[in-house]
Amino acid sequence: MNFGDIFRKTFLDTYNTGLSLKRMILTLCITLALSFFVFVMYRLTVRDIPFSKSFAVSMCMVSVVTAGIILAVQSSIVISLGMVGALSIVRFRTAIKNPMDLLFLFWSISIGIITGAGLYLFSLGTCLVIAAGLIIYQIIPLRKAPHLLIVRCTGDASEDEVMRQVGKSYRRHKVKSRSMVGLDTELVIELQSLKNEAGPVRAIRDIDGVTGVTMLSHDGQSVVQ
């Protein structure tokens, strides 16, 4: 028995196994069911961005595609080597900006890999643990992010009155920047957000010498103008 026979018996014959129709159908059906669970969790937990149905459906179908690839790789060493070469030239140009989208995408891929390997209970347990973690983090209350108050005024007296009004309405505040051009001053003040921002902002806007007031949230969106 030469080296080629030993290699064929110990490696090639071991990794060239038949793939039954029953296992293929079972694996793909379980993957589809778990990917639908991921779709529901994505719909319920991701609320800070507009819901994209096309992305959600594509994300779920990634699980089925990945499971099919894993099944094919397990059935033949020739297919697995060819798959490595094919996937090595694939490049994705679409940038995923939201970290939650990235989390769900990796979740979908992991379902396809684990279920395709035949570890059905492990795949189900992984889904339940991730879902429980997402629900817990959604329930935990977080401190509201501070707002930025941008005030444009004229004269030192107006600036002093603005700071008095800010100190009266907000217990925690900090001047982040002060820009002066001639008699005009622009103040950027970091404030702890309140339930009703309109009242204090109107009071500052009514001060003599104030030419503009803008309240911005932490993500740059205008709250009160």
Contact yes or no for 2/93 (Cβ under 8 A): no
pLDDT at 76: 66
With respect to CATH, is domain 147-224 assigned 3.30.70.260? Answer: yes
**Residues linked to residue 189 through DSSP beta bridges, in sequence order:** 149, 175
Q: What is the pTM of this model?
A: 0.61
Tell me what percent of the residues of the chain surpass a pLDDT of 90.
16
Tokens of 204: 């500052």
Question: What tens digit of pLDDT does each residue of 15-43 get?
Answer: 555 677 888 899 999 999 999 999 999 88
Q: How far apart are CA 174 and CA 86, in angstroms?
A: 56
Tokens of 150: 């941008």
User: Residue 187's pLDDT band (boundaries 50, 70, 90)?
Assistant: confident
Residue spans per domain, the chain: 3-139, 147-224
pLDDT at 79: 60
Q: How far apart are CA 49 and CA 212, in angstroms?
A: 30
pLDDT at 81: 57
CA distances from 69 to 65, 83, 160 (A): 6, 8, 68
Question: What tens digit of pLDDT does each residue of 83-131 get?
Answer: 655 555 556 666 667 778 888 888 998 999 899 888 899 999 999 999 9
Question: What tens digit of pLDDT does each residue of 126-164 get?
Answer: 999 999 998 888 887 666 667 788 888 887 777 778 888
User: Residue 195's pLDDT band (boundaries 50, 70, 90)?
Assistant: low
